[in-house]
Structure 1
Amino acid sequence: MPGSLFDAHLANLAAALLPYRECEGLLARWGEALAQRLAGGGRLLVAGNGGSAAEAQHLTAELVGKLRDDRQPLSAIALHAETSALTAIANDYGYDTVFARQVRAHGRPGDILLLLSTSGTSPNLLTAAHTAHDTGLRTWAFTGPAPNPLADACDEALAIASPDSQVVQELHLVSTHVLCEYVDQALPGALAAAADVPAPEPARPGSVRTGVEVVLDGGAGQQVQATG
């Protein structure tokens, strides 16, 4: 008698778990790098389509809110959640650019872009990855089995070795939680390191003139000078 749908799903999940254990080191390293970037004033941008969009938004909620213990909010933006921008960009420039244009708007050199896709073939995510490289962002991906175009387009990728897209998304969610755990673990040290960065040296007196100087006619031929 054939097994139930439930048994088949759990069997697929169990089969993917063994190779997934090899991702521990990658997630730990990503968590430390992300903590350092966010503690230093940078931000995380994330994007996905469909179920992967929901997974990506789950990640930003954990960072802006909290995973377990209270801590300062961390800057993370789910690009697909900007619905007015998303639809305007799609209407004016085409759907393939909906994330790339936001990457150019919000990303700064050194920021991190994380793209989620079960197939690794979505054109709008690939365009975003290429734009991120041009803008100086670091690019990561959660994907299904590798090789795939998105994994190849990003600096690093966590690829789930399962042909079942549901299993892939389920382990992407596990990866989201584990990544946030590692961020929280590394954050205190990252914040301390950021606080130790020496402040810029003050300008020497007379070397730089700041503010705005305006000359106003105060009436009756008098001139009033205001210096900011």
Structure 2
Amino acid sequence: MIQFELALQEHQKAIASVMEMSSQIEISVAKIVACLQSGGKVLWCGNGGSAADAQHMAAELMVRYVKNRAPLASIALTTDSSILTAHSNDYTFETVFSRQVEALAKPGDVLMALSTSGNSANVVNAVIQAKKMGCFVISMTGIKPSQLSEMSDVCYQINSSQTARIQEAHSFISHLICEGLDLAFD
């Protein structure tokens, strides 16, 4: 049987942790606005559900969130099946995102790195590459200390160890960032 009340309590705990992150969200919005205004782009990466979240949020920027506005340069590194499979076959899955960052990123771009554990090797390697190239890195993880929490310029550590609840909070934060971008690019 579904433990509805327990799931809802864990969800509320995860979302409540976002309340303490308002200054981080403002910093993230400001960095993304500066990046986009200077001709840069936002790159997103993650695995599994986080890959789906990356694609969703890249679309919110490129197409629109709520307001009709000009498209914002944003790309999910999780969408090109030919790149993902060729790279994983010819090299390794651990560098599938860092290779794309190397090819696409420029100094001043923003990398959004999503990983509930904060230790996914391919996401960590993307962050390493992005930092080498002068990108600003925003990551979203769970509560446990992780490689991403140590390496990122801004890290949203959600107060939960349950993957689904962490991802729900990541989506909420991402939507708040989109809301800020809608206001900035009115």
Structure 1-normalised TM-score?
0.78
Task: Give the percent of matched residue pairs that are identical in Structure 1 and Structure 2.
Answer: 38
Q: Which residue of 1 aligns with 2:45?
A: 47
Q: 1:92 to 1:24 in 2, by over 3 A?
A: same
**Aligned partner of 2:121 among 112, 120, 123:** 123
**Aligned partner of 1:77 among 72, 75, 82:** 75
**Aligned partner of 1:6 among 4, 7, 29:** 4
Larger Rg: 1
Consecutive aligned runs of 4 or more in structure 1 exceeding 6 Å deviation: none
Written as runs of structure 1 = structure 2, the 5 A alignment for 1:140-159 is 140-159=138-157
**Aligned partner of 2:64 among 66, 73, 76:** 66
Unpaired segments of 5 or more residues in structure 2?
Answer: none
Instruction: Return the alpha-carbon distance in structure 2 between the equivalents of residues 187 and 39 of structure 1.
Output: 9
The Cα shift of 1:4 comes to 5.3
Question: SS where residue 145 of structure 2 aligns?
Answer: coil
The Cα shift of 1:154 comes to 1.6
**Aligned partner of 2:25 among 24, 27, 30:** 27
Unpaired segments of 5 or more residues in structure 1?
Answer: 189-228
**Aligned partner of 1:88 among 86, 89, 92:** 86
| Deviation per residue, 1:39-92 (Å, 9 max, x gap) | 221000000000000111111010001111100001101001111111111111
Instruction: Return the alpha-carbon distance in structure 2 between the equivalents of residues 183 and 146 of structure 1.
Output: 29
Matched, 1:183 2:178: no
Q: Which residue of 1 aligns with 2:13?
A: 15
**Aligned partner of 2:36 among 38, 44, 48:** 38
Instruction: Return the alpha-carbon distance in structure 1 between the equivalents of residues 31 and 182 of structure 2.
Output: 12
8 Å Cα contact 1:39-1:187 kept in structure 2: no
Amino acid at match of 2:39: G
Q: Which residue of 1 aligns with 2:131?
A: 133
Question: SS where residue 98 of structure 1 aligns?
Answer: helix
Amino acid at match of 2:80: E
Between the two proteins, the alignment pairs up a number of residues equal to 186
Q: Which residue of 2 aligns with 1:163?
A: 161
Instruction: Return the alpha-carbon distance in structure 2 between the equivalents of residues 17 and 99 of structure 1.
Output: 28
Instruction: Return the alpha-carbon distance in structure 2 between the equivalents of residues 17 and 113 of structure 1.
Output: 23
Instruction: Return the alpha-carbon distance in structure 2 between the equivalents of residues 123 and 98 of structure 1.
Output: 10
Q: 1:8 to 1:100 in 2, by over 3 A?
A: same
Q: Higher relative CO (CA 8 A, sep ≥ 6), structure 1 or 2?
A: 2
> Which structure features the higher share of helix residues?
2
Structure 2-normalised TM-score?
0.95
8 Å Cα contact 1:36-1:187 kept in structure 2: no
